[in-house]
Amino acid sequence: MSKETLQFQTETKDLLNLMIHSIYTHKEIFLRELISNASDALDKMKYESLTNPEILGENKELTIQIISNKEARSITITDSGIGMTHEDLINNIGTIAKSGTKQFLSDLKAKNSDINAEEFIGQFGVGFYSAFMVADSITLTTRRYDSEIGYIWTSTGDGTFSVEENSKITRGTSITLHLRSTTEEDEFNYDSYLETYELESLVKKYSDYIRYAITMDIQEAVWAKDADGKITGEKPDSYTTITKTLNSQVPLWKKDKSDITQDEYTEFYKSKFHDWEAPLETIHYKVEGNVEYTALLYIPTKAPHDFYSPEFKRGISLYSKNVFIMEKCEELLPDYLKFVKGLVDSSDFSLNISREILQQSRQLKVISKNIEKKVLSTLETTLGENREKYEKFWTSFGVALKHGIYSDFMGALGVKDKVQDLLLFKSLNSDKLTTLSEYIGAMKGEQKFIYYASGESETAIKSLPQMELLKDKGYDVLLLTEKVDEFAIEALREYKEKLFRSITKGDLELSEEEKKQAESLTEINKDLLTTLKEGLGQKVGSVKISNRLKNSPVCLVTDEHGISLEMEKIMAELPSSMPGMKANKILEINPNHPIFTTLQTMHNNKQDLKEYADLLYTQALLIEGFPIENPTEFAQKIANLMVNASK
Ligand code: ADP
């Protein structure tokens, strides 16, 4: 194969442009990213060689080597890891497969805002490209362990890259960065990266825990000494080159908790899990006994960009005796806690365990249960001790907990009991978020239910007519604005023996007295209600006297057991839902509104009454945010009404 020149995918081009022009000051993180890629490649090689040690061939050492070349102004990072095939090269380096990148980049371009490179790298896992922050050209050579042929990839980040076959390349990957030159206006000295002491300190800072030796040749001074071993002379006699291992190689999680600073935990988290923000919580614990393992878990501060997309993969990395076994082991984490990142190291697993056997392993189930408990208890503690921090968590991941309750509708996994005390809600009576237990604590003496209402926004919900009487009584109402909310509430059914009640469903059951009053009014106005119902035909299930309205003439509600108005809207958006999933609508009329008196006086004019019924129904639809069935007809009827009024 001769040399081929290929175009970067558009997103990659945009990304490279951003990297090249980034004024981001932590350019040094490029080293962390490349070392972390090298370490992953070594992990994979180690794993492959477990079953078949021969594949290591002559090159048995799994290491990372850094070379600084001052003359050429280059740094090379070489690993003896798994390497890449031609296909890997094209797919991994040159294309960004992650969904969402395109949108993110075009938003950025539109806003013309400056990029925080680390944030971008963290969100999309595109560490390799960060090298273009410091390099004006990159050469990457690679050969996969089971391939005869290697490849040389080069690019100046200008929109194209070239790939050439080469049969002399040894196993693994080697990346040479030709550093940018420091210009006058640059406040940045790229040459500092050529200094071995600088590279050494960066490795110490970001990559100390990497389990493979990171080595570098450094010049060590040789001093002339006298017979007692004392240095003579003011300058070194000569220099000698020694190969130094720069990192301590102790996996962080193996260290004693008391020997680890929060900074170390955070650095480890950032480099291992590609996040740019410090984690919200760090959980590190060891378990001894029947099942032995160490877990290092993190609750991130922000949700990754694809967290709520179906492509998001949950999981905890699995290690056995410091050796990496698998990334994103799903079995270690229930779905509703999918935001947790981290790793488990257990000597109970054999290194070459197959995925199938692993899935059924009893140990894995025990560990998973423990992780679930630990995470839940950490969240409970945070909620109790640091409300502000917990609310941050809630903003990022609350929806995941609510999805959890809904997905466990039948209660087989007990999610409801596990998370109901961790839920937070906006509510009518407070600017702050409330827990269910706080809601119950603040309930009025005669209040029987936990009331809730759903809608597009807080403001929209607060102005719902169905809210009027509750407001008057000072009852608090949970305000639900996420799509999943109402489904989660339906799945909860009750909290501490208090049932949930939607303000737009069934009877509010405010008081016996009000109920009786509504019943007697219904009796008196039976004919009127029947005529109105006739006017509306199949549009509504019934027309009723309302006991939840104060100022509005009408509102729509649904019966207690069917789907709600909000659910009807959500269902209508779902491609998979069955047609005809409609709420059984009930038109409620406010008996204290002047319109009601007007209607009562019209009872002889059935035709007009039916027209009015339709107008009132359409108004109620509008308030609920439903599209109206025939806007032209509605406008016409209003116009007629105005004309008649002026006669
Ligand atoms: P990420 O590491 O987050 O996946 P990168 O852009 O840094 O994103 O790398 C893209 C992919 O390129 C990696 O997932 C890996 O498959 C491959 N890759 C990068 N560096 C190496 C390396 N040193 N050896 C083998 N494969 C590598």
Q: For 70-84, how does the pLDDT look when each residue is reduced to its tens digit (9 = 90+)?
A: 999 999 999 999 999
For range 184-191, the mean pLDDT: 73
CA 144 to ligand 1 centroid distance, Å: 13
Q: How far apart are CA 189 and CA 546, in angstroms?
A: 74
All residues at 6 or more sequence positions from 431 whose CB lies less than 8 Å from its CB, including other chains:
none
CA 463 to ligand 1 centroid distance, Å: 52
H or E element that contains 383: helix 362-385
What pLDDT score does 575 carry? 72
pLDDT at 390 over 90: yes
Quickly state the pLDDT bin for 63 (edges 50, 70, 90).
very high
Q: Which two tokens stand for residue 616?
A: 């009132």
Q: Comparing C-alpha atoms, which of 416, 480, 424 is closest to residue 452? A: 480
pLDDT at 47 over 80: yes
Q: Return the higher-pLDDT residue of 94 and 192.
A: 192
Quickly state the pLDDT bin for 310 (edges 50, 70, 90).
confident
**For ligand 1, is residue 353 a contact (CB within 6 Å)?**
no
**DSSP string covering 190-246:** GGGGGSHHHHHHHHHHHHTT-SS-EEEEEEEEE--B-TTS-B-SSS-SEEEEEEEE-
Q: How far apart are CA 153 and CA 177, in angstroms?
A: 12
Give the domain 4-245 fold: Heat Shock Protein 90 (3.30.565)
Give per-residue burial for 192-219: e unless 16+ CB within 10 Å, then b: ebbebebbbebbeebbbbbbbbbbbebe
At 295, is the secondary structure helix, strand, or coil?
strand
All residues at 6 or more sequence positions from 647 whose CB lies less than 8 Å from its CB, including other chains:
none
For range 558-579, the mean pLDDT: 78
Instruction: Choose one of 37, 40, 155 to mutate for the ligand 1 pocket test, by most ligand atoms within 8 angstroms of C-beta.
Output: 37
Instruction: Choose one of 33, 35, 40, 118 to mutate for the ligand 1 pocket test, by most ligand atoms within 8 angstroms of C-beta.
Output: 40
3-class SS letters over 135-203: EEEEEEEEECCCCCCEEEEEECCCCEEEEEEECCCCCEEEEEEEECCCCCCCCCCHHHHHCHHHHHHHH
To 5 degrees, how large is the angle CA 410–CA 411–CA 414?
A: 165
Taking the CA atoms of 250, 213, 262 and 275 in sequence, report the sign of the dihedral they define.
negative
All residues at 6 or more sequence positions from 498 whose CB lies less than 8 Å from its CB, including other chains:
440, 443, 448, 449, 450
**For ligand 1, is residue 518 a contact (CB within 6 Å)?**
no
The whole model's pTM is what?
A: 0.73
Q: Whose CA is nearest to atom 9 of ligand 1?
A: 128
Give the domain 254-394 fold: Ribosomal Protein S5; domain 2 (3.30.230)
pLDDT at 113 over 60: no
CA 92 to ligand 1 centroid distance, Å: 6
Q: How far apart are CA 291 and CA 346, in angstroms?
A: 8
Q: Whose CA is nearest to atom 6 of ligand 1?
A: 126
- Counting beta carbons within 10 angstroms of the beta carbon of residue 310, is it exposed (0 to 12), middle (13 to 18) or buried (19 or more)? exposed
Q: How far apart are CA 144 and CA 318, in angstroms?
A: 24
Q: Whose CA is nearest to atom 14 of ligand 1?
A: 92
**DSSP string covering 427-457:** ETTEEEEE-HHHHHHT--TT--SEEEEE-SS
**For ligand 1, is residue 275 a contact (CB within 6 Å)?**
no
Q: Is 5 left (phi over 0), alpha (psi -120 to 50) or beta?
A: beta
CA 493 to ligand 1 centroid distance, Å: 47
Quickly state the pLDDT bin for 298 (edges 50, 70, 90).
very high
Quickly state the pLDDT bin for 443 (edges 50, 70, 90).
very high
For range 285-306, the mean pLDDT: 92
CA 260 to ligand 1 centroid distance, Å: 28
DSSP 134: T
pLDDT at 458 over 90: yes
The CATH number of 424-502 is 3.40.50.11260
Q: How far apart are CA 327 and CA 350, in angstroms?
A: 16
Taking the CA atoms of 366, 411, 283 and 279 in sequence, report the sign of the dihedral they define.
positive
pLDDT at 24 over 90: no
What type of residue sits at position 442?
Answer: A
Atom of ligand 1 nearest to the CA of 44: 25
**For ligand 1, is residue 79 a contact (CB within 6 Å)?**
yes
**For ligand 1, is residue 125 a contact (CB within 6 Å)?**
yes
**For ligand 1, is residue 41 a contact (CB within 6 Å)?**
yes
What pLDDT score does 530 carry? 93
**For ligand 1, is residue 274 a contact (CB within 6 Å)?**
yes
What pLDDT score does 58 carry? 82
Same fold? 4-245, 254-394: no
The ranges assigned to domains in the chain are: 4-245, 254-394, 424-502, 525-645
Distances (CA, A) of 210 to 207, 274, 385, 473, 553: 6, 15, 34, 62, 69
**For ligand 1, is residue 81 a contact (CB within 6 Å)?**
yes
Residue 588: φ, ψ to 5°: -105, 140
Q: Whose CA is nearest to atom 1 of ligand 1?
A: 125
**For ligand 1, is residue 105 a contact (CB within 6 Å)?**
no
Q: Comparing C-alpha atoms, which of 382, 311, 282, 294 is closest to residue 125? A: 311
Distances (CA, A) of 516 to 520, 545, 563, 591: 6, 11, 27, 14
At 341, is the secondary structure helix, strand, or coil?
strand
CA 89 to ligand 1 centroid distance, Å: 9
Q: Which two tokens stand for residue 40?
A: 């992953």
Quickly state the pLDDT bin for 415 (edges 50, 70, 90).
very high
Give the domain 525-645 fold: Four Helix Bundle (Hemerythrin (Met), subunit A) (1.20.120)
**For ligand 1, is residue 121 a contact (CB within 6 Å)?**
no
For range 363-372, the mean pLDDT: 93
What pLDDT score does 522 carry? 92
To 5 degrees, how large is the angle CA 258–CA 250–CA 373?
A: 55
Quickly state the pLDDT bin for 126 (edges 50, 70, 90).
low
pLDDT at 116 over 70: no
Quickly state the pLDDT bin for 220 (edges 50, 70, 90).
confident
Q: How far apart are CA 554 and CA 593, in angstroms?
A: 9
Q: Whose CA is nearest to atom 19 of ligand 1?
A: 37
All residues at 6 or more sequence positions from 518 whose CB lies less than 8 Å from its CB, including other chains:
544, 545, 546, 547, 591
**For ligand 1, is residue 331 a contact (CB within 6 Å)?**
no
What pLDDT score does 251 carry? 87
Q: Whose CA is nearest to atom 12 of ligand 1?
A: 92
**For ligand 1, is residue 92 a contact (CB within 6 Å)?**
yes
Atom of ligand 1 nearest to the CA of 37: 20
Q: Whose CA is nearest to atom 3 of ligand 1?
A: 125
Q: How far apart are CA 176 and CA 430, in angstroms?
A: 58
Q: Whose CA is nearest to atom 21 of ligand 1?
A: 37
Rg (CA), the chain: 33
Q: How far apart are CA 111 and CA 623, in angstroms?
A: 35
pLDDT at 473 over 80: yes
CA 340 to ligand 1 centroid distance, Å: 23
Q: Whose CA is nearest to atom 17 of ligand 1?
A: 92
